Chain A
Amino acid sequence: MRRNGSFAVLFHLLFVVFMLAPLAIVCIVAFTPEGYLSLPTRGPSLRWFKAIFDYPEFLRAFYTSLWLAALSSTMAITLAVPAALAIARYRFPGREAITALFMSPLMVPHVVLGIAFLRFFSQIGLSGTFTGLVLSHVIVILPFALRLVLAASYGIDRRIEHAAISLGADTMTVFRRVTLPLILPGVVSGWLLAAINSFDEVTMTVFIASPATTTLPVRMFLYIQDNIDPLIAAVSTCLIVLTAGLLFALDRLYGLDRLFVGSGKG
C-alpha cells in the first residue's frame, strides 16, 4: 500500500485543525478572566468554572441527564438483547420489517419524534414527566444498542450453544452461562453508546422536557439562544472533558472502529 504524500499530510493536518478548532476554542474561552467572550490573554482563570456553581439549574440538569441516560440505556439494552438474538439467528416472516422498525428512529428526524411525543404525552398525561422523557429516550437510543448487540450476536457460533445443550444445559442456563458471556462486549458497549446518545440528545428532548426535567444539553441550548458568554463555554468544556474520558474507556473496551464501522448501515 502506498504511503501518504506530503500533500496528503497537509490536507490531513488542515482536517484535524478543522475538526478540533471548535472544541479547542470553547475550552480556551472558558478560561478567560474577563467578564465577556475573549481569549485568556491575561493568563487562564477558573472564574467561570466556579461560576457554574452559582447556577444550580446546570447542576440539576446534569443530574437529570445522568439519570436519564442510565435508566433509558438500561431499558433499551434490556429490549435490544432478546430482539438482537431473534434477528441474528432466526429467519422468520416479518424479520426485515421488525428490524427496520427498530432502526427507524435513526431515519425519522428527531424534530418529528419530539413533536410526536409532545402530542402523544400531552394526550395521555405524561407531558413534562421524567417517565415520558425516559420512554422517548429508549426509542431514540435503541437502534444504537441493537446494532452493537446484533453485531456481537451474529459473531457467535451457534454450535457453541448446541455443545452446551448436548452437555445437558437448559435454555436459561445456555443463555446465562454461554450466550450472554459471548455477547457481553457488545452488550456493554451498546449500553455505553446508548447512554452517550441519550446524554447528548437535544433536538427531541427540547420539545418534551419541562423546566423541572430539563436535561443538560437542552438547558445549554436554551441558554445559548439568549446569550453566549464564557459561562456556557465553561459548562461545555466540562462536557467535552467528560466525553473525552468516556471515549477512551470505550476505545479500550471495544475499539472505536469496531464500534462504528462494520456493524451495518447507519
Chain B
Amino acid sequence: MSLAVSERNAPYWLTAPGLLVFLGLVIIPLGMTALLSFYDWGQYKGIVPTFTLKNWVEIATDSYFFEVFLRTFRIAIVVTLATALIGVPEANILNRMSPAWRSICMLVVIGPLLVSVVARTLGWALLLGSTGLVNQGLMALGLIGSPLEFMFTETGVVIALTHVLIPFMILAVWASLQRLDPQIENAAMSLGAGWWTIWRRVILPQIVPGILSGAIIVFALAASAFASPAIIGGRRLKVAATLAYDEFLNTLNWPLGAAVATLLLVALVAIIVGSNRLIERRYAQVFE
C-alpha cells in the first residue's frame, strides 16, 4: 500500500519547507534572545556570556521599568476600550448600510490599515502639535484658551494608536454581525422589543465573542506598538517597545534589552492565551 503510506506522510512533506524556515528563523532566534537576557553586560567589556540574573533583578527592582510596563499596559487597555466604544457602533452602522455604500466605507476602514504606520502617525503629529489643526480648531471655537499638550503625552499616543488599530476591532465585530440571522431583529420586534432592547438583549450578546476577539488583537498590538509611541511619545514617554529599542540601539545594553523584550513577549502571550481560553470556555456552548 504505497499509496496509503505516502498519503500519511504527505502533510509533513508539504509543511516541511515552511517548518524548517520557521524552526531556523523563529524558534532559534527567540531562544537565543531569551538566553541573551541571562548574559552579563558592561560599558567596556560588552556582552559576556556568563549566566546571571542581573538584568531580571534590575527589571524587577528598578521602579523605572515597572513604570514603563505599567504605562504600556495602561495605554493598551485605554486603546482597547476606545476602539470598542467607537468600533462596535461603527461596525453596526456599516452592517446596516446598502451594499454599495458599505463597500465604499469598508475602503475607509481597511484602507488606512495598508498605509504605512509611519505615514499615519505623521498625520497625527501634524494634527496634534501645539500649532496643529486640532488645537487651532478648538481655540477658534473658543473651547480652550491655550493649546492642549497632545504631543509627548499618553493622550496623544492613545489617539494615534486608536486610529491605527480600530480597523481590527471593526473587522472582528463586523464578521460576527454578518453571522447573525437578519430575521432575528424582526423576530424580536414582532415580540414587542424596542430598538434599545433589541440591541442590548438580542444583538449584543451574539457579537460579544467578536468584540472580545477584536479586543485581544487590539490589546496585543497596542501593547507591542513601536512606531506610533516613538513618534508621538518621543524620547520622554517610553513604552516597553521603545525602551527595548533604546537599550539595543542607543545604550547598546543588549542583555537588558533582551530581558525587556522577553518579558513583553511572555506577558503578552500569557494574556492572549489566557483570555482566549476564557472566551472559548465561556462561549463554547453558545457558538458551534
Contact = CB atoms under 8 A, between A and B. Distances in A.
Interface string A41-76: 000000000000000000000000000000000000
A196 B166 CA distance: 19
Contacts of A261: 171, 174-175, 178
A228 B131 CA distance: 13
Contacts, number: 260
B226 A4 contact: no
A18 B163 contact: yes
A233 B26 contact: no
A111 B15 contact: no
Contact of A228 (B19, B25, B125, B220): B125
A92 B11 CA distance: 7
B111 A266 contact: no
Given A19-B109, A123-B32, A262 B118 contact: no
A112 B264 contact: yes
Contacts of B257: 115
Contacts of B272: 107
B119 interface: yes
- Chain B's interface size range is 35 or more
B283 interface: no
Interface string B254-268: 100110011011001
A169 interface: no
A79 B21 contact: yes
Contacts of B178: 261-262
Interface stretch (A154-162, A181-189, A244-252): A244-252
A118 B249 CA distance: 10
Nearest to B36: A119
A179 to B, nearest CB: 12
Contacts of B5: none
Contact of A25 (B115, B126, B227, B244): B126
A224 B89 contact: no
Interface string B138-168: 0000000000000000000000100100101
A101 B114 contact: no
A98 B227 contact: no
B237 interface: no
A266 B118 CA distance: 22
A233 B108 CA distance: 20
A254 to B, nearest CB: 12
B100 to A, nearest CB: 13
Contacts of A35: none
Given A19-B163, A95-B11, A109 B17 contact: no
Contact of B126 (A3, A26, A102, A136): A26
Contacts of B131: 37
Interface of B: 8, 10-15, 17-19, 21-22, 25-26, 28-30, 32-33, 36, 86, 89-90, 93, 96-97, 103, 105-127, 129, 131, 133, 160, 163, 166, 168, 171-172, 174-175, 178, 182, 185, 195, 213, 217, 220, 223-224, 226-227, 230-231, 240-241, 244-245, 248-249, 254, 257-258, 261-262, 264-265, 268-269, 272
Interface of A: 1-4, 8-9, 11-12, 15-16, 18-26, 29, 37, 78-80, 82-83, 85-87, 90, 92, 95, 98, 101-102, 104-105, 107-113, 115-120, 123, 135-136, 138-139, 142, 196, 199-200, 202-203, 206-207, 216-217, 220-221, 224-225, 228, 232-233, 236, 239-240, 243-244, 246-247, 251, 256-257, 259-262, 265-266
Given A112-B265, A207-B245, 5 more contacts: A19-B109, A92-B8, A101-B22, A104-B26, A239-B116
